[in-house]
A and B are shown apart, each in its own frame.
Chain A
Amino acid sequence: MEVLSMERVPVRELDAKERIKSFNEVCLGYSEEEAIKEASRCLNCKSANCVKKCPVGIDIPKFIDHIKKGEFKEAAEVIFMYNNLPSICGRVCPQEIQCEGGCVLKNKGQAVAIGKLERFVGDYVLENNLDVVKRKPMNGKKVAVVGSGPAGLSCASTLATLGYQVTIYEALHEAGGVLVYGIPEFRLPKEKIVKREIENLIKLGVQIKTNVIVGRTVTINQLMDEMGYDAIFIGTGAGLPKFMGIKGENANGVFSANEFLTRANLMRAFLDEYDTPLKIGKKVAVVGGGNVAMDAARTAVRLGAEVHIIYRRTEEEMPARLEEIHHAKEEGVIFDVLTNPVEILKDDKGWVKGMVLRKMELKDADETGRRTPVEIEGSDYTEEFDTVIMAIGTVPNPIITYTTNEIKINNRKCIIVEEETGETTMEGVYAGGDAVTGAATVILAMEAGKKAAYAIHKKCHPGEM
């Protein structure tokens, strides 16, 4: 018998020097041979920890076992029982703290590359146009899903397989939420992956209506009373950007990461033949240390700028995935840690010309366990920048809750739901994802969407569960 390798099969990536010249996907994924080789490292644990740590509980040993035997379609059938968007999840989940964090091999060497294997299977389904979803006959019930981001997509696909007639209402002109406007092309290809996984949902019978802003174009009450939906799921995310509130923040050349990324990703501003403009200078500051900050920084690198991450804690406290920080560094992003902007300086035409930065030091941990940054007095210095991108977080958009008083929100502007079911304070209306939790991860939003779908099913068909 072959000796178990402690090291995972490396995944091929574009070279850093090459990849910063384009928006092509950095990670190339496994070939069939590589996938089989990596799959054979799995020990097929009886009580698998990886499954427990997957938010949607995919039967990981089972799908990996099929890959081991070269049965890729069978592997897909297993995954699709739990998750309809494996090409997306395999790419953007923080596996190191989820499934791969629970892998027993981690104690002796490297965890099985579960994310890369899931991605391999998802891409295999797309490339071969496989139909692997099993669905129940239509049950005559209608559900409206508001928002086509990860939460809405997962809720809609779960309901569709359970036999519901589902319509997704999306405010933007393209479905996908943060998958299309936020996460850049070089991490998650839009045409090749996102669009095609969404097309598979349409094949399940899910209708997607774009350009509908629920709360403005149509209200929740109208959906319920006039349009006759049996239930509604709200997955509108946390898309409202925060600003620091410092002097000069409205200068020209200061963007929220959402604006910068929306122009680049959704509007394809980096391509000359598209009409949306995007202007960045030679030296860009990105304020923040999360995944959004890394995405903005790496996008700015590809637009030809020298890019600095300005973060008030140290690299250790950064909420961004290790892989993203690593990629950003490889691509030449400069990390200015323990630094915080206190003022943005303008030239006489109202454009950014620099920032006043203050050095920070870390004090004891707060109640959440993160060490608190404290300003060092007299440490202010000025550095020149011609673009500043604020990536310091987002909060839920209030359009729906402003126009629907029955849906209550908490003091963080998040929709209040019953933990078990995801039902809001308005009967028959459910919510999940960032609209409920505040900015979190793609897979947690998908889990919430799925949970609400089952709660809706339980209410509509109490006997079946």
Chain B
Amino acid sequence: MYKILKKKTLAENIIMFEVKAPMVAKSAKPGQFVIVRIDEKGERIPLTICDYDKDLGTVTIVFQVVGASTKKMSKLSEGEFLLDFAGPLGNPSQFVSLNTDELKKKKFLFVAGGVGTAPVYPQVKYLREKGIDCDVVIGTRNKDLVILKDEIEALRCGLYICTDDGSLGFKGRVTDFMKKLFDEGNSYDEVVAIGPMIMMKFVCLLTKEYNIKTTVSLNSIMVDGTGMCGACRVTVGGQTKFTCTDGPEFDGHLVDFDEAINRQNMFKDEEVRRLHHSRECSCF
């Protein structure tokens, strides 16, 4: 059992839990994720790690309420427990294996879509603690959905916000803003994009034009998260890869996004059905 020490609503339907999980906290690195199961009848859900504290033995996760399980999870309070919390899973971000001198030669642009800001945060934090130059672009529908703004600002990197309705920062999509950044002469060695599949797809189409190496973190459907089932398989450079063990980060220019988007929707009908007939529902 894993205790929820802190709960905070970051935006409508976006919730943060700080969970006591000392073994996970001790080994966690940027780019990795955990698998959570709420209760005995629950499913296993992959969630990216947003922060971790090795000394306190805590791991922070951020999730968006999109289906029956995340809805159920959003109803848990501080002091309550998650039944299972397994991790850290997946490979750490590729830059974790580089030494500081090598990193100092690079400039990174992070592009975060919505709740994708949560996994971007530990990566930027890791790099900024080593004094590496980073810019961050956050894209959301409107200003109320921007999360972790203060935390990222505190890392003292370039931070730009794009909203679809222009209620904060640049009005338009992240790709429109990126184009502007590139055309104004900003140059980057690498783009890291994390967000909805469709956003990552369009970021990759743009950076391909500008010939900038782009890393994406895929959020495929998973079951075990340890490589034993292949539910999370994706085609990368023409080869089948398992997101949970070969990723979750891949070279975005090699990912077959259309297939990945299709596979992500595999259980959409069931998901909708369950959301309307979830266990706490009193309609039958």
A residues near B (Cβ < 8 Å) are: 171-173, 181, 210-213, 216-218, 239-241, 243, 245, 249-250, 252-253, 255-256, 258-259, 262-263, 267-268, 273-277, 279, 349-350, 397-399
Contacts and interface: CB of A to CB of B under 8 A. Distances in A.
Given A217-B86, A273-B41, A279-B270, 8 more contacts: A212-B23, A250-B240, A250-B263, A258-B230, A262-B224, A263-B223, A274-B43, A275-B42
Contacts of A241: 228-230
Nearest to B231: A259
Which 8 pairs, one residue from A and one from B, show the smallest C-beta to C-beta distance? A259-B229, A239-B228, A350-B262, A277-B270, A211-B86, A276-B43, A275-B43, A173-B84
Contacts of A268: 41
Contacts of B44: 173, 267, 276
A217 B87 contact: yes
Given A275-B43, A276-B43, A350-B262, A211 B227 contact: no
Max chain A C-beta neighbours (<10 A), residue from B86, B228, B262:
B228
A349 B42 CA distance: 29
Contact of A249 (B83, B234, B240, B267): B240
Contact of B228 (A240, A245, A252, A349): A240
Contacts of B74: none
Contacts of B263: 250, 252, 350
A263 B271 CA distance: 15
Contacts of B87: 213, 216-217
12 contacts: A173-B86, A210-B84, A213-B226, A218-B23, A239-B227, A241-B229, A252-B265, A256-B231, A258-B230, A274-B43, A279-B270, A397-B226
A414 to B, nearest CB: 16
B228 A211 contact: no
A454 B43 CA distance: 39
Nearest to B23: A217
Contact of B41 (A210, A213, A274): A274
Interface of B: 23-24, 27, 37, 41-44, 68-69, 83-89, 223-224, 226-231, 233-235, 240, 245, 259, 262-263, 265-267, 269-271, 274, 279
A267 B27 contact: no
Given A249-B240, A277-B267, A258 B86 contact: no
Contacts of B23: 212, 217-218
Given A250-B259, A399-B245, A258 B229 contact: yes
A211 B27 CA distance: 14
Contacts of A249: 240
Given A212-B23, A217-B27, A259 B230 contact: yes
Nearest to A215: B226
Contact of B43 (A216, A253, A267, A350): A267
Nearest to B222: A259
A116 B264 CA distance: 45
Contacts of A212: 23, 86
Nearest to B27: A217
Contacts of A255: 230-231
Contacts of A259: 223, 229-231
Given A216-B88, A249-B240, A399 B68 contact: no
Contacts of A273: 41, 279
Contacts of B86: 171-173, 211-213, 217
A187 to B, nearest CB: 20
A399 B245 CA distance: 8
